[in-house]
Amino acid sequence: MKKILMLGTGGTIASEMTPEGLTPELRPAQLLSYVPAIKDLCQVDCLSLFNIDSTNITPRHWCAISRALELNYHLYDGFVISHGTDTMAYTAAALSYMVQDADKPIIMTGAQKPINYDSTDSKLNLTDAFVCACSEELAGVDIVFSGRVILGTRARKTCSKSFAAFSSINYPDLAILQDHRLMCYISPRCRRKPRFFHQLEERVALVKMVPGTEPELLDFLLSRNKALIIECFGVGGLPSYEDSRLLELVERHTAQGKFIVATTQVQNEGSDLSVYSVGHSLKGNPYVLEGFDMTTEAVYAKMMWILAQTRDAEEVNRLFYAPVAHDILHRG
């Protein structure tokens, strides 16, 4: 029988109603008491890392999860992480960079309704997560939700209330589950030893362009951070607004060693700065990177992981465009 470690972090799945609204209260062992069939699947140990709403998750919590995984990695066949849905895609992306080449399943799951509700998706998701954690066909960080297995670097929450909360962006689902039976479409195979990272550069900012964005906003963010991710319009580019202030501040800050990542706020198909003149002006600068088909969540986590290791422009470029867990397919 497989031995699985369940890591609890809080979230809706562990919440109970209080006078202030839903608040995480239940520990992992309490969650498992609602799904007794799991004990027939595997032997489970539980570890409660923290018990918070996922809105309150920070990069420091990602580091704590990564450390717990490394400390226990050799003791277990797989891992289930219960987590709130609102920032689960960010955590899944971050863990994909902090735990690389894992040859065991690291499964994240949660719910849109608390486990003690009559109409809850918690029990289905939790059981499916343990089925996946016991599987020989899965490895690495995945999200299991509403009968779908989604790669950690490709997940995004696309529904705020529906049970089918997550979508796989620019990449197919790895598998589906029906009646707790796993049917894999893509089975990752890892022949390397897992690598663990526990440091992230938190001074990475993200801004979404809107028509008429003031250059001063980007200037402020770049002055306070080592990198700025810009969610551009369409396939990407910076507007001129009849002057060159945006481009000038890009040139000024990159000359000071700041990095800019141009990506798109359009969910599907990715960016391509070479299409229009507003994007072409950014190309050729070694401190300006392009997200292509990566999710914003993955771009954000990857830059934090990279900049914790190096500030050398050549090395940053190499690491950014080197695929990790299939986070990037198209590179121009």
List residues with catalytic annotation: 12
- The single-letter code of the amino acid at 130 is F
Residue with tokens 């699985």: 4
Q: Which residues share a beta bridge with 259?
A: 227
Tell me how far apart the alpha carbons of residues 305 and 315 are, in angstroms, rounded to a whole number.
13
At residue 67's C-alpha, the angle toward residues 322 and 198, to 5°, is 45
User: How many C-beta neighbours within 10 Å does residue 167 have?
Assistant: 18
Tell me how far apart the alpha carbons of residues 227 and 229 are, in angstroms, rounded to a whole number.
7
Cβ(298)–Cβ(157) below 8 Å: no
Crossing angle for the helix pair 59-72 and 88-98, to the nearest 10 degrees: 50
Residue 279's φ and ψ, nearest 5 degrees, are -100, -35
Residue 46's φ and ψ, nearest 5 degrees, are -125, 145
3-state helix, strand, coil in the chain (%, to 5): 30, 25, 45
Tell me how far apart the alpha carbons of residues 288 and 269 are, in angstroms, rounded to a whole number.
20
Helix, strand or coil, per DSSP, at residue 2: coil
**DSSP state, residue 198:** -
Tell me how far apart the alpha carbons of residues 94 and 191 are, in angstroms, rounded to a whole number.
22
> Residue 79 corresponds to which tokens in the numbers above?
């891992």
Instruction: Pinpoint the alpha helices (H) of 49-157.
Output: 59-72, 88-98, 122-133
